Amino acid sequence: MVAATPDPSVAEMIERHQDTLDRALAAIESRDYWSPYPEFPKAYGESGPADGKAAFDALLGKVFAIEGQPTNGDLVAGEASPYGIELGVSYPHAEADDLVAAMEQARPAWAQATPAARAAVCLEILARINARSHEFAQAVMHTTGQAYGMAFQAGGPHAQDRGLEAVAYAYAEQVRLPRQATWTKPQGKREPLSMVKEFTVVPRGLALLIGCNTFPTWNGYPGLFASLATGNPVLVKPHPRAVLPLALTVRIAREVLAEAGFDPNLVCLAAEHEGGAIAQVLAVRPEVKLIDYTGSTSFGDWLEEHARQAQVYTEKAGVNTVVIDSTDNYKGMLSNLAFALSLYSGQMCTTPQNLLIPRGGIRTDEGTKSYDEVVADLAAAIDGLLGDDARAAAILGAVVNPGVLQRTVAAAAGEYGELALTPRVVESAEFPGATIRTPALVKVDADKPDDRTAFLGECFGPVSFAVAVDSSEAAVELLRRTVREQGAMTAGAYTVDEGVEAALVEAALDSGVSLSLNLTGGVYVNQTAAFSDLHGTGANPAANAAYCDGAFVAGRFRTVQVRRHS
């Protein structure tokens, strides 16, 4: 439940959140660690987890009403918990025409609000979402399959961080021009020419957010808050299997907007059955001027091709690579990689897929290790990490959907190549119906055409490839080529050789992928921290945008000038 809040004026919201906004603006410049949203579950009170669970349970088996939003009376439902529990939440369906009409009506007043007012409303929305992080954790867990700890952090505070980061960038971009300026041009001995000029931010129009199955909030909040903070209404079209986290978000946003005196239809939910086509219909509506999308390459390409009336920000598929050249911390490298490959069953767009290892072996602090030894040791590290079922479940989470499960089956059957590590079924004591699998590690050779076919396409889920390559130089070139041709959200490398490191950095800059070097501790290649790390680059086929930079927000509004003599 939302804590009862006295109907706050926008001015009150601005005052309440000014410090947070100021600190966020400083953080995106310094890039040091910062967050206003604690990532430790205990920070949310003793009863936080239980309260969140109770709030979540109260949603199950019911219609998720969204008061005041258009509906055609139909209900849609299609979520299935990867943990096997019955959800039974259904959502009101609405016709595209009705949604668009309601949002167009809501649009002008929000467009006329100041950037400061919009930022404050967004921060109030985020604060209320933050207070309910345990409830969101349950919703994220049971739609994405993320383990509770990850669903709490990545689906809660870390997603909120990304939302706040987008608000900060949006605010900064909107106030680069003064609201009003005087212009005085000397005219020699004559009176100077003198003008007063007013600069007004003009939002682009209706924004469409198309959510994904695995990270509905983390991947959804940057676009949602970037568009909203720049004055555009946002229509949220969740993935049919991950509606609840975004439905909660929409409901909270509507509550705050209404309290601030705005039309709650500035944020609407477009829920639909799996296989529905409302995204295609909405994406080409002339009113839709902004689209944020995370998902498959095929639909991302379709959007870029067909939604020509809109600015389209996409995050699509990619193939992430780690180059293993050498290390001075072999054990640290293995445990870091084991965790990176296991976390959320490899179902992150940032999880490494291909580990490139010279077939002649690598130098380590424990002596030279052959390709086979590295692969066996990594397999053992993963085995060790996931040996205990309870611990394994807490790291792996559950398999998000049947498509991913099918790939684990194919991998286990040896369809991708020789297995260095065979996936196994993990039983959950808490959730007997959970679908949990340990990762597969497949041995392939960069010189074998069949192997290349297997590892050079995206194999989303708990399947990675230990790719034997001729040399570290060959690994660097394969990294470069993979990023250029397949796209990548992340790249990693281990090396103690300055020459190899320089070549890796050059290849990363050249192909346009961010690089994590020699991670051996508590930072993983698949994790990026808001306010500091960029998520994606927009410079390779995996995404045309990054969270978050000036380019992500600058196109979401225009500036109109009015000038007159002073």
Tokens of 328: 């001075």
Selection from 37, 546, 55, 65 nearest residue 313 by Cα: 546
The residue among 82 and 512 lying less far from its own copies, judged by its C-beta, is 512
* Comparison of 86 and 510: residue with beta carbon closer to its own copies: 510
> What is the nearest approach in angstroms of its own copies to the Cβ of residue 185?
4
C-alpha to C-alpha distance for 105 and 233, rounded to whole angstroms: 10
To the nearest 10 degrees (0 to 180), the angle between helices 157-174 and 10-30 is: 90
549 interacts with its own copies by CB under 8 A:
yes
Kindly tell me which of 406 and 561 has the beta carbon lying closer to its own copies: 561
Question: Measured between alpha carbons, how far is 238 from 266 in angstroms, rounded to an integer?
Answer: 16
Tokens of 90: 């259904």
In eight-state DSSP terms, residue 557 is E
Minimum distance, C-beta of residue 519 to its own copies, in the bound complex (Å): 7
Based on CB atoms, which residue is closest to its own copies, 69 or 514? 514
How far apart (Å, rounded) are the C-alpha atoms in residues 476 and 489? 16
Do residues 25 and 116 lie in contact, with contact meaning Cβ atoms separated by under 8 Å?
A: no
Tell me whether the omega of the peptide bond preceding residue 349 falls within 30 degrees of 0, making it cis. Answer: no
In angstroms, what is the minimal distance from the CB of 98 to its own copies?
23
Residues 6+ positions from 505 with CB-CB distance below 8 Å: 515
User: Which element (helix H / strand E) includes 154?
Assistant: helix 148-155
Q: How far is the CB of 530 from its own copies (least distance, A)?
A: 11
Closest CB to its own copies among residues 119, 426: 119
Count of residues that interact with its own copies, criterion CB under 8 A: 64
Among 488, 484, 453, 451, smallest CA distance to 468 is for 451
Would you give the binding string for its own copies spanning residues 500-539, x where CB under 8 A is met?
-----x--xxx-xxxxxxxxxxxx-----x--xxx--xxx
Closest separation in Å from C-beta 465 to its own copies: 24
Interface residue with its own copies, options 6, 46, 275, 565 (CB under 8 A): 565
CA distance 129 to 124: 9
Choose one: 26-34, 81-89, 114-122, 370-378; the region binding its own copies (CB under 8 A): 26-34
For residues 304 to 323, the per-residue mask of contacts with its own copies, x marking binding by CB under 8 A and - elsewhere, is xx--x---------------
Alpha-carbon distance of 390 to 395, in angstroms, equals 9
Task: Map residues 160-179 to x or -, x wherever contact with its own copies holds by CB under 8 A.
Answer: -------------x--xxx-
Q: Taking CB under 8 A as the rule, does residue 497 contact its own copies? A: no
Give the per-residue contact string, 106-125, with its own copies (x = CB under 8 A; - = no): --x-----------------
Instruction: Provide the H-helix boundaries in 31-144.
Output: 48-57, 96-112, 115-131, 133-144
498 binds its own copies (CB under 8 A): no
Per-residue contact string for residues 394-423; x = within reach of its own copies by CB under 8 A: ------------------------------
User: Residue holding tokens 């070549």?
Assistant: 503
Closer to its own copies at the Cβ: 27 or 396?
Answer: 27
User: What burial letters (b/e) apply to 85-99, b meaning 16+ CB within 10 Å?
Assistant: bebebbbbbbeeeeb
Contact set for its own copies, span 178-237 (CB under 8 A)? 178, 181-187, 193, 195, 197, 199-200, 202, 204
Beta-bridged to residue 180, according to DSSP, are 198
Q: Are 343 and 395 in contact (CB under 8 A)?
A: yes
Output the CA angle 270-125-218, nearest 5 degrees.
65
Told to check if 563 binds its own copies by CB under 8 A, we report yes
3-class DSSP assignment, residue 455: helix
CB nearer to its own copies: pick between 31 and 391 = 31
CA 298 from centroid of its chain's CA atoms:
18
Please state the closest distance from residue 549 (CB atom) to its own copies, in A. 6
Interaction pattern, residues 30-59, with its own copies; x per rule: CB under 8 A: xxxx--------------------------
Single-letter code of the amino acid located at 367: G
CA angle 516, 520, 525 (to 5 degrees): 35
Which residue's CB is nearer to its own copies, number 11 or number 562? Answer: 562
List 209, 382, 420, 546, residue binding its own copies (CB under 8 A): 546
Closer CB to its own copies, 376 or 554, in the complex: 554
With CB under 8 A as the contact rule, which of the stretches 28-36, 352-360, 363-371, 386-394 interacts with its own copies? 28-36
Beta bridge partners of 559: 201
Q: Which is nearer to its own copies, 26 or 413 (CB)?
A: 26
> What span, in angstroms and rounded, lies between the C-alpha atoms of 564 and 566?
6
Neighbours of 80 (CB within 10 A): 17
d(Cα 68, Cα 549) in Å, to the nearest integer? Answer: 34
Does position 457 interact with its own copies (CB under 8 A)? The reply is no
Are the CB atoms for 396 and 424 separated by under 8 Å?
no
Least gap, CB of 407 to its own copies (angstroms): 30
Between residues 183 and 453, which has the closer beta carbon with respect to its own copies?
Answer: 183
Among 105, 298, 561, 566, binds its own copies (CB under 8 A): 561
Binding region for its own copies (CB under 8 A) out of 157-165, 212-220, 427-435, 546-554: 546-554
Instruction: Using CB under 8 A, list all residues that contact its own copies.
Output: 29-33, 108, 173, 176-178, 181-187, 193, 195, 197, 199-200, 202, 204, 304-305, 308, 505, 508-510, 512-523, 529, 532-534, 537-539, 546, 549-551, 554-555, 558-565
